[in-house]
Amino acid sequence: MVLEPPARTVGMGKRGNANPKIAMMVKLITEYGPEINRIARELRIHKETARYWYKEKLLKKGYTVQAVPNHEKLGLRRVIALVQFSDEFRSYADAILMAMSELCYLTSFAKTLPDDFYSIHANVPQEYIGDWIRFMQELGRRGLFASIRVVPFEWARVVPMKSEIYDFENDSWQYDWASKPKLEPGSLDFASSARSKFDSIDLGVIKVLQLDPDASLIEVGDKLRVNYKTLTWHYRSHLVGNGLVKGYLVNWAGTRYDPKLEKAMHRRHRYMWLELLLTGLTETERM
């Protein structure tokens, strides 16, 4: 299994006086996306206030939102490869990995410090896991990688962000590191999701919402050239009804893809990602 946090935290001091309704808005966004009218109803505030908070307190400050597909329901399985590029290909590493994202199921990668390894995450069709691992190992034998280790996972979960400990006015995390973490009810009840039925329209909608979660269904239909009635049925029956989209990620670091400029955008931040890979755990140890 792999647990992945949708945002990173920097803790300091005691909990600040963050606006509780903005924190709740963020929780609602992670559940069903930036549906401003619905969020306003649940928070019992005016929709213009909710829209202002969303744009001014989140988007303009660099925080980004992205749809999270349920890869298990799409028949995909997470595989992580830890690789070190050979000297000959090291300067081309990013370009090679970007090409692999188009051709080889790669979904993300990061470079480690200071040992110069790359952590490559891929979501591969379950029936091709063995082929993908052999393909990566063959790239190593042909000299692309100086070293490679591949680890497949049973399932992956996105851990919800604890927006209640974020001070939205001062843009800082107010986490008490001396406090003992509390487990929320159901937090240990992880189970793999069964594969669901889907088609090319479903995949197209998911792709658009990953790139632009603010796109309306009318805009999505125009991009996919699918009529609104058909698209609405797919969205409600498959993406929501069958859980093909399991939530939305709020990224505090601000890395995002701009659908209008068609390129990745980055902002300066003070966060460092930590990736812990633990293998050989018993069920009790894992929980």
Structure tokens at 69: 């597909």
Question: How far is the C-alpha of 186 from the C-alpha of 207, rounded, in Å?
Answer: 30
Identify the residue with better confidence: 86 or 102. 86
Per-domain residue ranges of the chain: 4-8+13-69+249-280, 76-154, 197-242
Among 20-24, 95-99, 180-184, 254-258, the minimum mean pLDDT is found in 254-258
Contact by Cβ (8 Å): 30, 160: yes
Confidence at residue 103, expressed as pLDDT on a 0 to 100 scale: 92
Which residue is listed with tokens 């595989």?
A: 79
Question: How far is the C-alpha of 240 from the C-alpha of 196, rounded, in Å?
Answer: 12
Q: Is 282 helix (H, G, I), strand (E, B) or coil?
A: coil
| pLDDT (average), residues 63-83 | 92
197-242 has CATH 3.40.50.920 classification: no
Instruction: Give per-residue pLDDT as tens, 177-231.
Output: 888 777 666 656 666 778 999 999 999 999 999 888 999 999 999 999 999 999 9
Confidence at residue 5, expressed as pLDDT on a 0 to 100 scale: 44
Say how far residue 89 (Cα) sits from the centre of its chain: 28
Structure tokens at 49: 């206030």
Instruction: Give per-residue pLDDT as tens, 145-173.
Output: 999 999 998 877 777 677 888 887 777 78
CATH class of the domain comprising 76-154: alpha beta
Question: How far is the C-alpha of 60 from the C-alpha of 267, rounded, in Å?
Answer: 11
Question: How far is the C-alpha of 220 from the C-alpha of 6, rounded, in Å?
Answer: 24
Please determine, for residue 105, whether its predicted confidence score (pLDDT) is greater than 60: yes
| pLDDT (average), residues 248-270 | 70
pTM: 0.78
Mean confidence (pLDDT) of the chain: 84
Question: How far is the C-alpha of 79 from the C-alpha of 129, rounded, in Å?
Answer: 8
Question: How far is the C-alpha of 101 from the C-alpha of 104, rounded, in Å?
Answer: 6
| pLDDT (average), residues 125-149 | 96
| Percent residues over pLDDT 90 in the chain | 51
Confidence at residue 264, expressed as pLDDT on a 0 to 100 scale: 66
